[in-house]
């Protein structure tokens, strides 16, 4: 028997107005609270904490490595990952060296989830062409994997200067930095993750999770065909989560934040929509992937997905919509004390 699947939390660092108080947190306060969230998660015995990358005034974390370095100093055991790093517009050398530094500071706890990003603001910001969206990611992730293997690197590519016997420093505590690819829903991304032999972190934000089963199958098939072992092909599931002692309490408390969150996220994308309470009730049904409810209901949803995917990791996004740290802390405590022990036990059999 093993220890069961890993369970943790992640944040994208969104800065939204609290729908009850109508106040909006400062960037400085939001960062302080993210660091405090990580400490709470570590103290509670969760396995992983992630910080996402955005380059917008309504998000606070443009540099996950810097935030995770601060977190490394006040935590002891929890793994520290990006969630995600937008690798299409990041220099792979810089990304590797930053996270190797986090690995040294955390005594071997750093990981990278690389993705193409839900927003595209980093392309004009760093001088890249959106037409190269896919080719940039493919080239950069392959270079990152080479940097992860070799201390002295020679390399030629299309989008950045060549490397000739370049010294890649520092080197991490771990033999290699664990690398995952964030996948939103495209078969091509799942196949690429398998072909490259990275982990695959699935973002499942709602609906029936069974629609993601073909992606997991494609990922594993592509990985095995490329010569990777089944043990190295790891799947993680991420999702929006709100836990309260009772089911209806969770729905009543979370609805204002969830509706608020999608109102401002959709507005960022140029769409004006608001989720009604009726729509929200449909979204939180037992067969959906939105993790809202009592600890028993969250356990049931995680275990149902485990039956579908056989995944190795579940990471919850618990801080959306302008919630206070006090409310987020309650969710972390319930995830760690009520949900995680049962899920770990059942998935270790």
| Structural contact between residues 311 and 199, judged by C-beta atoms closer than 8 angstroms | no
Measured at the CA of 68, the angle between CA 189 and CA 49, to 5 degrees, comes to: 60
Q: Taking Cα atoms as reference points, which of 247, 233, 337 lies closest to residue 7?
A: 337
Share of the chain above pLDDT 90, in %: 93
When mean pLDDT is compared over 16-30, 119-133, 259-273, the highest value belongs to 16-30
Phi, psi of 40 (to 5 degrees): -60, -45
pLDDT at res. 279: 95
Containing 40, the helix (H) or strand (E) segment is helix 27-43
pLDDT tens digits, 285-302? 999 999 999 999 999 999
Q: Which residues of 131-146 are buried (b: 16+ CB within 10 A; e: fewer)?
A: ebeeebbebbbebbbb
- Going along the chain from its start, the domains and CATH numbers come out as 6-116+170-347 (3.20.20.30)
Query: What CA–CA distance (Å, rounded) separates 233 from 113?
Result: 14
Three-state DSSP state, 78: coil
pLDDT tens digits, 56-100? 999 999 999 999 999 999 999 999 999 999 999 999 999 999 999
pLDDT tens digits, 143-159? 999 999 999 999 999 99
As a whole number, mean pLDDT of residues 225-230 equals: 97
Beta strands in the chain (DSSP E): 6-11, 48-51, 79-82, 85-86, 110-115, 152-155, 163-167, 179-183, 199-203, 235-243, 291-293, 313-317
Neighbours of 266 (CB within 10 A): 14
Those residues with Cβ within 8 angstroms of residue 176's Cβ, 6 or more apart along the chain or in another chain: 148, 149
| Structural contact between residues 56 and 268, judged by C-beta atoms closer than 8 angstroms | yes
Q: Is the pLDDT of residue 321 over 90?
A: yes
> Average per-residue pLDDT in the chain?
96
Q: Taking Cα atoms as reference points, which of 71, 73, 55 lies closest to residue 63?
A: 55
As a whole number, mean pLDDT of residues 180-193 equals: 95
Query: What CA–CA distance (Å, rounded) separates 231 from 278?
Result: 42
pLDDT at res. 246: 98
17: which DSSP letter? B
Query: What CA–CA distance (Å, rounded) separates 72 from 104?
Result: 9
Tell the burial category of 227 from Cβ atoms under 10 Å away from its Cβ (0-12, 13-18, 19+).
exposed
Q: Is the pLDDT of residue 120 over 90?
A: no
Q: How many Å separate Cα 123 from the centre of its chain?
A: 21
Contacts from 184-190 at CB under 8 Å and sequence distance 24+? Answer: 184/115, 184/118, 185/212, 185/215, 187/214, 187/215, 187/218, 188/134, 189/116, 190/215, 190/216, 190/218, 190/219, 190/222
Local confidence band at 116 (pLDDT 50, 70, 90 cut-offs): confident
pLDDT tens digits, 264-287? 888 887 888 889 999 999 999 999
pLDDT at res. 265: 86
| Structural contact between residues 11 and 50, judged by C-beta atoms closer than 8 angstroms | yes
pLDDT at res. 1: 46
Beta bridge partners of residue 15, listed in sequence order = none
Q: How far is CA 230 from CA 52, 236, 302, in A?
A: 28, 14, 22
Q: Is the pLDDT of residue 37 over 70?
A: yes
């Amino acid at each position: 028997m093993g220890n069961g699947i890993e369970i943790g939390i992640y944040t994208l660092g969104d800065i939204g107005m609290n729908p009850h108080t109508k106040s909006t947190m400062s960037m400085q306060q939001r960062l302080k609270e993210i660091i405090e969230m990580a400490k709470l998660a570590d103290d509670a015995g969760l396995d992983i904490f992630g910080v996402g990358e955005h380059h917008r005034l309504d998000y606070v974390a443009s540099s996950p490595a810097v935030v995770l370095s601060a977190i490394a100093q006040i935590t002891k055991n929890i793994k520290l990952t990006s969630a995600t790093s937008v690798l299409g517009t990041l220099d792979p050398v810089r990304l590797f060296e930053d996270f190797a530094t986090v690995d040294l500071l955390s005594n071997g706890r750093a990981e990278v989830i690389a993705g193409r990003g839900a927003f595209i603001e980093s392309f004009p910001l760093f001088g890249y062409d959106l037409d190269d969206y896919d080719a940039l990611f493919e080239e950069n992730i392959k270079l990152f994997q080479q940097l992860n293997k070799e201390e002295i690197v020679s390399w030629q590519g299309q989008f950045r200067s060549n490397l000739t016997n370049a010294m890649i420093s520092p080197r991490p505590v771990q033999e290699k930095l664990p690398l995952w690819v964030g996948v939103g829903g495209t078969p091509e991304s799942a196949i690429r993750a398998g072909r490259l032999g990275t982990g695959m972190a699935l973002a499942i934000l709602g609906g029936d999770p069974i629609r993601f089963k073909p992606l997991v199958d494609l990922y594993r098939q592509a990985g095995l065909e490329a010569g990777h072992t089944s043990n190295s092909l790891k799947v993680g599931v991420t999702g929006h989560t709100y836990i309260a002692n009772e089911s209806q309490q969770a729905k009543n408390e979370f609805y204002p934040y969830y509706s608020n969150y999608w109102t401002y996220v959709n507005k960022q994308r140029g769409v004006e929509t608001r989720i009604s309470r009726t729509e929200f009730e449909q979204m939180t049904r037992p067969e959906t992937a939105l993790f809202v409810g009592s600890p028993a209901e969250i356990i049931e949803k995680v275990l149902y997905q485990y039956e579908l995917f056989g995944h190795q990791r579940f990471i919850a996004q618990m801080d959306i919509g302008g919630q206070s740290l006090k409310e987020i802390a309650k969710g972390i405590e319930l995830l760690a004390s009520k949900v995680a022990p049962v899920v770990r036990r059942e998935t270790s059999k």
